[in-house]
Chains A and B, each alone.
Chain A
Amino acid sequence: MAAPHRQSRPSNALFAAPYLVVFVALLVVPLCWGVYLSLQKADLFGLYGYTGWTNYARVLGDALFWQAVRNTVVFVAVTVPVLVAIGLFLGLALNARTRGAAFMRGVYFSSTVLSVTIVTLIWRFVFIPGDGLLSLAFEAMGWPPIGFLSTQGWSLFSVGVATVWWCLGLPMILILAALQQIPGDLYEAAALDNASRWRTFTRVTLPQIRNTLILVATIQIVMQFQLFGQAQLMTNGGPNGTSRPMVLYIYRAAFENWDVGQGAAASELLFLIILVAAMGQFWITNRGNKA
């Protein structure tokens, strides 16, 4: 007697079990644990009892926290559009079936596989005062030197440049893939319709890759809010915390000041901000779609 083809059996759940175990262990547990911690008075040695919203109140009352929020928002607001724009530009430029284009794609993508340590090392060579590439160039031109890593404003800018260089590969590859999905006959129809290059770009290409651009922007918003390694290694948040992102603030609170409860509370706030930013971006772009 054969069992019906699509019968659902409890044993089927076994196939999903490995993923579920990992998902619960690495995502659900830490998330709940974080919420729990943020409501406790806690340091690296243990928990000292429930304190309610005290940790949140302390974080929200901390001027350094708000400085970090401002730094991070500015950083995201600048790097994400730049990443999408350069990714789009490179995608368009390298959307050809030539060997040269294939090679250049590889070159631009290669930075993505580097670790953050290597990336910061490379960019420190560029930005460091004295014998960095830029300061040598400024010297050769006879311009006054700029402390790229130690001047307010320039330090966050330098972190941004390194980040864009490091993260560019993914937007470029996703946009390239979307561009290659566009049927060629649409361009032929546009050519017969006398469309200029600009009109073809805005009326044929852009609408066709719109969803990919939204996806790329969302991924980058989530990723860039979590800026940490480059900032810590290049500027260590300085000067005066003007390049300190939220994750660095959290790290300071939890692992340098040993106030795990406050760090956890700041983490939950970061989580909320990312959620709101990603959903807000999604909502705005989708509303534009209907209009």
Chain B
Amino acid sequence: MSASIDIHHLTKRFGALTVLDDISLAIEDGEFVVFLGPSGCGKSTLLRMIAGLEAVNEGEIALGGRRIDTLPPGERGVAMVFQSYALYPHMTVRQNMAFGLENVGTPRDEIARRTDAAAKVLEIDHLLERKPQMLSGGQRQRVAIGRAIVKEPRAFLFDEPLSNLDAALRGRTRLELAQLHQRLGTTMIFVTHDQVEAMTLADRIVVMHDRRIEQIGTPMEIYQRPATKFVAGFVGAPAMSMLPLSGVTRGPLGARLEVAGVGHIDSAVTLPEGFATQGASIGIRAEDTRPDAGADTGADRGTGAGPDMNTGSNTGSGPNTGPGSLPLTVDVIERLGDRTLLHGHLPDGTVLVAQDTGRSQVAPGQVVPVGVDPHAVHVFDAAGRAHHAGEVR
């Protein structure tokens, strides 16, 4: 039943406004793909073009090898769950789920069988005779999913289906969607601007920004090897700290990155010959930092004293500490229980977020030397292209 989706050089314009520019994307049969991006980047538009609710200006869309972008929505073999659910208000839950099947002449007993089966899985079988306004938000959402399931589509399309639910229900439904995908094995496309949803659900994430696709990759690739500065800044909370790069010299593991007025960071990144530092920046995630708050917290981290701390560290790849570390003046302390985020600034004014243990003793106003894991440092050139440790580009 399930099918692959191929998008070739797709362009979408609303009048003079180009919303999507030459998008190409191949989604494998049975894959769970998440479109992630900031508001207004065209995620919904792309999804609606696959569904047939928006016309295609240029390019092609194929489902299971068959071109579908010229077919009406109902004949494409896809089912969509809307953010607003779009349930028919005057029909009961059962009628809502049966409507699409009735329209294609499915036999009555087959409709009843599929509706009952879907209702059972979604635990809405006791609601079948109710109308949507007599349901809670979460129940409506299940009905919307049920309406998609009974059609046994070749691909499911979800447009931010969880955004109207409260936090607890959202978490639960997220999990259930993952289970649903495992059970059905059908291709699913899920639009969201919530990166937690994207990371937990996706086989692959498509990060979109400014009319085009920034990166396609598994959640781990997106998180650990962001292709561009935009992806690096968009994915992960707190956002990756960006430091201006002023010079590059040879360090013990790779490039030694100079930050004017602050010091240097030893990284395992290998930069190409003649890398232009003009406009380039260094990206550091909070969890890749090691603030050295003194003996009381330092003891359980096994900090050393040398410039290269790869040896003798219990984290496996030791941070830069001592002379090569960054002096962070702590402004705000954010306690998350299991860890503590130190929001502060460096001598040149750049803001940096460092992560300490949950029992951190650091106080605001304190200056803490912060070490950085050399293997987790990212360098972005002036155009935003990323360089990571262990690869040459």
A interface residues (Cβ-Cβ under 8 A, vs B): 183, 185-186, 188-196, 199, 203-204, 207-208
B120 within 8 A of A: no
Report the Cα distance A114→B87, complex, angstroms. Answer: 43
Partner of A195, one of B74, B78, B151: B74
Closest chain B CB from A194 CB (angstroms): 3
A189 vs B53: C-alpha distance when bound (angstroms): 10
- Asked whether B91 lies within 8 Å of A203 as measured between CB atoms, the reply is yes
Q: Are B88 and A191 in contact (CB under 8 A)?
A: no
Does B89 lie at the interface of the complex (its beta carbon under 8 Å from any beta carbon of A)? yes
Are A208 and B90 touching (Cβ within 8 A)? yes
What's the Cα separation between A167 and B104 when bound, in Å?
A: 41
Contact of A193 among B84, B89, B99 (CB under 8 A): B99
A207 to B75, CA, bound (A): 25
Q: List, in ascending order, chain B residues with CB within 8 A of A208's CB.
A: 89-90
CB of B74 within 8 A of CB of A183, answer no
Residues of A with C-beta under 8 A to B75: 194
Q: Taking the nearest CB of chain A, how far is it from the CB of B75, in angstroms?
A: 7
A196 to B147, CA, bound (A): 18
Residues of A within 8 A of B78 (CB): 192
Q: A77 to B89, alpha carbons, bound, how many Å?
A: 31
**Complex Cα spacing A183 to B87, Å:** 10
Closest chain A residue to B105 by CB distance? A194
Give the residue name and chain of the B residue nearest to A194 (CB): B74
Measured CA separation A183–B72 after assembly (Å) = 20
Given the complex, which residues of A lie within 8 Å of B90, measured CB to CB? Answer: 207-208
- Residue B319 at the A interface, CB < 8 A? no
**Contact indicator A193/B100 (Cβ below 8 Å):** yes
Q: Is the CB of B73 within 8 A of A192?
A: yes
- Would you call A203 and B99 a contact (CB within 8 A)? yes
Residues on A with C-beta less than 8 A from B82 are 185, 188-189
| Contact between A192 and B74, CB atoms less than 8 A apart | yes
Q: In the complex, which residues 65-92 of chain B have their Cβ closer than 8 Å to any Cβ of chain A?
A: 72-75, 78-80, 82, 84, 86-91
Q: Please give me the residue from chain B that is nearest to A204 by CB atom.
A: B88
Q: Which residue of B lies closest to A184 (CB)?
A: B86
Q: Check: B51 CB closer than 8 A to any chain A CB.
A: yes
Q: Could you write out 17 A-B pairs with CB less than 8 Å apart?
A: A185-B86, A186-B88, A188-B51, A189-B80, A191-B53, A191-B72, A192-B79, A192-B100, A193-B74, A193-B100, A193-B151, A194-B74, A194-B103, A195-B100, A203-B88, A203-B91, A204-B88
Beyond A194-B74, A208-B90, whether A188 also contacts B103 by CB under 8 A is no
**A193 to B103 alpha-carbon distance, docked (Å):** 7
Cβ of B52 within 8 Å of any chain A Cβ, yes or no, is yes
Q: Tell me which residues across on chain B come within 8 A of A203, comparing CB atoms.
A: 88, 91, 99
Give the chain A neighbours of B104 by CB distance below 8 A: 194
Residues of A within 8 A of B51 (CB): 188, 192
Most buried by B among A188, A194, A196, A203: A194
Partner of B86, one of A188, A194, A196, A199: A188
Cα A188 to Cα B87 with chains together (Å) = 11
Distance in angstroms from A143 CB to nearest chain B CB is 47
Query: How far apart are A84's CB and chain B's nearest CB, in angstroms?
Result: 19
- B151 closest partner in A (C-beta): A193
Task: With CB as the reference atom, state the residue of chain A lying closest to B99.
Answer: A193
Provided the pairs A183-B86, A185-B86 are in contact, do residues A191 and B99 lie with their beta carbons within 8 angstroms?
Answer: no
Contacts of B86 in A (CB 8 A): 183, 185-186, 188-189
Across-interface contacts of B53 in A (CB, < 8 A): 188, 191-192
Contact with A along B143-182 (1 / 0, CB 8 A): 0000100010000000000000000000000000000000
Docked complex Cα distance between A185 and B85 (Å) = 9
| Cβ of A187 to closest chain B Cβ, rounded Å | 9
Determine the residue in chain A with the shortest Cβ distance to B104: A194
CA distance A274 to B351 in the complex (A): 77
A185-B82, A186-B88, A208-B90 given; A191·B103 CB < 8 A: no
- CB within 8 Å of A: which B83-140 residues: 84, 86-91, 99-100, 103-104
Min C-beta distance of A188 to chain B, whole Å:
5
CB of B71 to closest CB in A, whole Å: 11
